[in-house]
């Protein structure tokens, strides 16, 4: 039975290769479709990292509050809000390439630029995560400094993301 499934898959791959040999632009379309999937996976990864960071900040804030220290909670709340907003923007953005028949198409050189910004997003999300992980056990001044640094990083991520969107719209 599994041999038949494999044979069918190989046969379909052969069919797609034949179509690619006959239909101009089909291979480029397939490549762009793969890029769309990679783009979605990468943005989902960034979204999940930022959402997880929000939960860690929330736990750190709860620890501060449960210790009776209400001074300085505003920066924690601001960071959680920013993490949530930027994570949702990243998750809900258009995919890295509009569909084959869509009015607006993104060319491959534009995609390269988009993915450079996406790499910056991924690296930035990892940096935010590392700093937030440092909150655990940090003294109050250190923790507040880390929270402010993270807020600035999240603001930078939003800027990268906006520039990505500009490339998608304008080229």
| pLDDT tens profile 23-66 | 565 566 666 677 777 778 888 999 999 999 999 999 999 988 88
Q: Which residue has the higher pLDDT, 8 or 115?
A: 115
pLDDT at 26: 54
> Model's pTM, two decimal places?
0.73
Distance CA 148, CA 23 (A): 54
Distance CA 124, CA 11 (A): 43
Mean pLDDT of 126-149: 92
């Amino acid at each position: 039975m599994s041999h038949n499934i494999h044979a069918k898959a190989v046969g379909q791959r052969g069919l797609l290769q034949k179509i690619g040999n006959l239909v101009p632009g089909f291979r480029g379309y397939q490549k762009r479709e793969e890029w769309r999937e990679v783009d979605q996976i990468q943005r989902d990864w960034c979204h999940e990292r930022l959402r997880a960071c929000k939960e860690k900040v929330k736990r750190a804030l709860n620890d501060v509050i449960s210790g009776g220290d209400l001074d300085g909670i505003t920066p924690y709340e601001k960071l959680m809000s920013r993490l949530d907003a930027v994570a949702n923007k990243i998750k809900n953005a258009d995919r890295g390439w509009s569909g084959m028949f869509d009015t607006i198409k993104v060319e491959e050189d534009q995609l390269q630029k988009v993915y450079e910004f996406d790499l910056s997003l991924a690296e930035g999300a990892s940096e935010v995560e590392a700093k937030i992980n440092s909150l655990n056990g940090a003294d109050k001044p250190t923790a507040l400094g880390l929270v402010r640094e993270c807020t600035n990083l999240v603001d930078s991520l939003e800027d990268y993301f906006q520039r990505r969107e500009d490339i998608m719209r304008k080229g």
